[in-house]
Structure formats: C-alpha cells, structure tokens
Amino acid sequence: MDKLKEKILTEGKVLPGNILKVDMFLNHQVDYQLLKEAGLEFYNFFKDCGVNKILTIEASGIAVACAVADAFKVPFVFAKKGSHSNVGSNVYTSEVFSYTKGKSYTLTVSKDYINKDDRILIVDDFLANGEAVLGLKRIIDEAGGELCGVGIIIEKRFQNGYKKLVDAGIKLKSLAVIESMNDGNIVFG
Amino acid sequence: MDKLKEKILTEGKVLPGNILKVDMFLNHQVDYQLLKEAGLEFYNFFKDCGVNKILTIEASGIAVACAVADAFKVPFVFAKKGSHSNVGSNVYTSEVFSYTKGKSYTLTVSKDYINKDDRILIVDDFLANGEAVLGLKRIIDEAGGELCGVGIIIEKRFQNGYKKLVDAGIKLKSLAVIESMNDGNIVFG
C-alpha cells in the first residue's frame, strides 16, 4: 500500500531497539481515513474467505479492526490485556510473551463472543515476533472457530513473526513489509 | 438514538453496582455499523463547531472515536492510561479518580498531538461520574486548545457526571440517557 509506505517514510521515526514510532498516524493520533483504505485492502485480499468476525487486541488494534469490520460489514471483538473483572469468568485466556517488554501478559476474550461457527480474520497494527497473533489463534482454536487469515498494517519482516505464522500455515497479508531499518534507514520488502 | 436504546433494552444486562453490561455490542464485541450511525448523530449535532480533532481514552473509547473521526473527516487522538514509556516524556498528564475501581489512574497524551490551534470534540462510550472527561478537559486546557463539546454513547444521568459537565459550561450530547435502572429496569430520559 503505497500511501502507507510513503507515510511511514515521511512521518515515521526509527528509535533505538528497532522501534518504529508511528504514533502520529497509527497508534496514538490516528489517521482514520488511511485506515479505511487499509480496511478495503484487507477486504479485497480476504473477501472470498467467508469472514464473519474480526479479532484484534486492545488498544492499538481497535482502530484497525473498526476499518476492517466496516469493510466486511461484520462485528469485531477486541481481546483485553490482563485480568478484567468486568469481562466475567466465562472467558478464554492465552498467555503471550512480549519481547518488547520482556514479560508475559494474558489475553482475555469472553466465551460469548467467539464460537465454533466463527470464521475469523485477525488484524493488528504491527507484526514483530508474532506471539500476540499466535495467542489469539490459540483462543480461536479453543473456541473451535476457524482462523481465515491475518491482516497486518506494518510487518517487521526482519523479526521472526513472519516465519512463525507461515510455518503455522496462516494466510498473512501485510500492507507494509519492512525488511530492515538499520541506522534509521527503512527498507521495504 | 432509538436503535441504540432498543439495542440496550434487548441485549444489555444490568449487573449489581449500577453496571450496565453492553459488551456484546459496545466495548468488547463491537457493532461498528451501529457506531457509524452514532458518529453521524454527533456530526449533525456538532458540525458547526469547527471541530478539527477528536479526543478519547483507550480502550473502549477508540471505536467510538473512529466512527466520529470518520464522520468529521478529522484525525483522532486516544489518551493512554497509566505511564507509557513508548509515548516519550514530552506529554500532558492528568490524574483521574475512577469511582468504579475506587482508585486513580493517569491519562497521558503526547504534546505533539494536541495544541493551541485544536478545536476538540471529546467522545466516549459511557458518562458516569464525568471524571474522565474532566481529566481530558484539563489536558486540552493545558495545551491551550478549545473544547467544543462532549459526545457520549450511553449516559448514566442518575450519576453526577452530567451536572459536573453542565456546571463546567460544557456542551454535551448523549445518544442514550439512562435516568434510572433500579431492579434491572432501564428507564431512558
């Protein structure tokens, strides 16, 4: 998606630790018109997969999920991080290790909102080590639903999430694939 | 907004402690088509106020902000809860007391994304005691921006947020106003 790549190049900032700061348009301030275009890209890629639900993780996945859910005209569910008393006890949970933060956290989804009839597209803002996506996949598997694919706004191909997802047989569409960003120089794949 | 009120009556659940559980369509699973209609309602109400930015709080405000930002064709910003190392140190913060949780939390917004030229509409899923909205207002005030108004999906009029906001001279639009929900019986205003 050329417009997205241009935005990353002109506005994004590479910080130490392979961090790409794009919080001016993606995950703090949000350019929703750009995400709408992203939603249509994912729709065109996955439209023949029978998707009936979008799944993401709070907080920065939610805006992506809105745009994709709108393109598919289906509801979305966002997994909550940590223990949430207001979700109740009838939940699926999945432990996810965050390499960025160096610790694990728990994903929680109410059993009311994922079930065996669901054909689910996972979406998120970033793909790095793939642990979050695999955590959501475990929840879908436990619920007996089907994972149709994964849609990512920005993929850091130089980390190992891509390989893990492909090895797990997951259909992946990333709108901007970053091959490397050494010395602050972003190279797309 | 009749469709919203009908949805609250048919799907919502009143739990002990004046909690209205609407996580089947608003804040865990999300009916984004309903939120799009809500976005247009807010647009029609506030369209002459010169709004150039939408402000909300993660996580459950984000989907509302997407729909409203789309209606206005402006970006939105979501305040983060707690200390976020990835936001940096150039931030506005505001302490908010949550009556629901019985403790305070910190709202954080990067100084890069709110400034004196901004005319801001705050949106959120719920209004109860109004502390979150007033916390966002303090950030807008500190940035020198202007608060144009507040758009709320579900207002619990029987709590005191309404009075606080009106006393502060804030223009408020709530799409469903709940006057009471004693014994699980929801009465709209």
Give B16's contacts in chain A (Cβ within 8 Å): none
The answer to pTM > 0.90 is yes
Residue B137 lies in a domain: yes
Q: What is the pLDDT of residue A164?
A: 98
Interface test with B, best of A24, A27, A53, A66 (most B CBs within 10 A): A66
Tell me how many domains chain B contains: 1
Residue A91 lies in a domain: no
Q: What is the pLDDT of residue B87?
A: 72
Residue A182 lies in a domain: yes
Residue B67 lies in a domain: yes
Establish if A170 touches chain B: CB-CB under 8 angstroms.
Answer: no
Residue A125 lies in a domain: yes
CB contact under 8 A, B23 and A87: yes
Q: What is the pLDDT of residue B2?
A: 96
Query: In angstroms, rounded to a whole number, what is the distance separating the alpha carbons of residues B76 and A28?
Result: 8
Give the count of beta carbons closer than 10 Å to the beta carbon of residue A125: 22
- CB burial string A140-179: b at 16+ within 10 A, e below: beebebbbbbbbbbbbbbbbebbebbeeeebebbbbbbbe
pLDDT single digits (tens) B123-138: 999 999 999 999 999 9
Of the listed ranges A65-69, A99-103, A173-177, B127-131, the one predicted with least confidence: A99-103
Report the residue from A23, A36, A77 with minimal CB separation from B29: A77
Cβ distance B105 to B96 under 8 Å? yes
* Residue B108: closest C-alpha in chain A: A28
pLDDT single digits (tens) A22-81: 999 999 999 999 999 999 999 999 999 999 999 999 999 999 999 999 999 999 999 999
Residue A94 lies in a domain: no
Domain extent at residue B43 = 2-80+113-188
Report the residue from A59, A67, A110 with minimal CB separation from B59: A59
Give B35's contacts in chain A (Cβ within 8 Å): 66
Q: What is the pLDDT of residue A83?
A: 67
CB contact under 8 A, B29 and A80: no
Radius of gyration of chain B (CA): 16
Which CATH number characterizes residue B139's domain? 3.40.50.2020
Residue B49 lies in a domain: yes
Task: Write out chain B's pLDDT in tens, 189 residues.
Answer: 999 999 999 999 999 888 999 999 999 999 999 999 999 999 999 999 999 999 999 999 999 999 999 999 999 999 999 866 567 789 999 999 998 788 999 999 999 999 999 999 999 999 999 999 999 999 999 999 999 999 999 999 999 999 999 999 999 999 999 999 998 899 999
Cβ distance B125 to B27 under 8 Å? yes
Q: What is the pLDDT of residue B100?
A: 79
Nearest CA to B62 among B19, B132, B124, B117? Answer: B124
Residue A95 lies in a domain: no
Q: What is the pLDDT of residue B55?
A: 98
- Complex ipTM: 0.97
